[in-house]
Amino acid sequence: MQRDSFYDNARVGLIFLVVFGHLLQPYTNLSTGSQALYTWIYTFHMPAFILISGFFARGSRQPKYVLNLINKLLLPYILFQLMY
């Protein structure tokens, strides 16, 4: 399988958000803007990283595998995010 630079760059961006979120965390009490940015970053960065990394898992090109993942992972994730 040939590497796609789009996904590599997306993972780099998400890793940057992890580091930036950790650096931002001590400053969340200083302003509502930093708290909002911190909350926004932590809403999606790790799930997105996991989904992009999982895209390259063995069997990811088979429709049955993808549907199984959606039923097991994506639907519960969306449900719990909505409840949160």
Q: How many alpha carbons fall within 13 Å on the CB side of residue 8?
A: 4
Number of structural domains (the chain) is 1
**Domain range enclosing 14:** 5-83
Residue 18: pLDDT band with limits 50, 70, 90? very high
Average pLDDT over residues 27-53: 91
Share of residues in the chain with pLDDT > 90 (%): 49
Q: What is the pLDDT of residue 57?
A: 72
Looking at the predicted structure, is the pLDDT value of residue 23 above 90?
yes
Q: What is the pLDDT of residue 30?
A: 93
Q: With b meaning 16 or more CB within 10 Å and e meaning fewer, what string describes 18-50?
A: eeebeebeeebeeeeeeeebbeebeeebeeebe
